Amino acid sequence: MTTIVTDGKSIAFDSLYQVNGRRMYMREEPKVVICNGQTYGFAGDNSLFMPMIEWCEAGAKPADYPKIGEARFTLIVPKAKQALLYTSESPYVSTHPYPCAVGTGADIAYGALAAGTSVLGACRIAADIDLGSGKPVKSEIVMIRKN
């Protein structure tokens, strides 16, 4: 229920949240945060965003993966050459080349990117079309911590 798009330099994200089936916009819970000089983006059950960031900050060891129950999410961590993706389906990281999009609007965003739009433009188009995403769309500069 989100669209997040990054090219490793900027990251764009929509502002729709759903709480108990109700559509809400521009809530206090962030979809993108910077923690200790690293950008993190989160699509899915927002209650797990901070526990997943804490897990990543502690080294992202599969043995220490947070208990998530039935929740579904994707955590995107932009790095210099590719994005790291952590999901509710596995405690192991997968990598994805840039550009990278996650959430229910990802396929629409990839189509827009293939047509030549920017990261921000792709996220805006996805927010227009995808029922799980909504405007306004924001964009931030990606911060990548050098480990």
- Residue 76: helix, strand or coil by DSSP? strand
- Per the model's pLDDT, the better-predicted residue between 29 and 88 turns out to be 88
Structure tokens at 28: 């206090």
Does residue 20 carry a pLDDT above 60?
no
CA dist., res. 82 & res. 97, Å (int): 5
**Residues 76-114: tens digit of each pLDDT:** 999 999 999 999 999 999 999 999 999 999 999 999 999
CA dist., res. 53 & res. 107, Å (int): 25
Question: 10 Å Cβ neighbour count for 39?
Answer: 22
**Residues 57-79: tens digit of each pLDDT:** 999 999 999 988 888 899 999 99
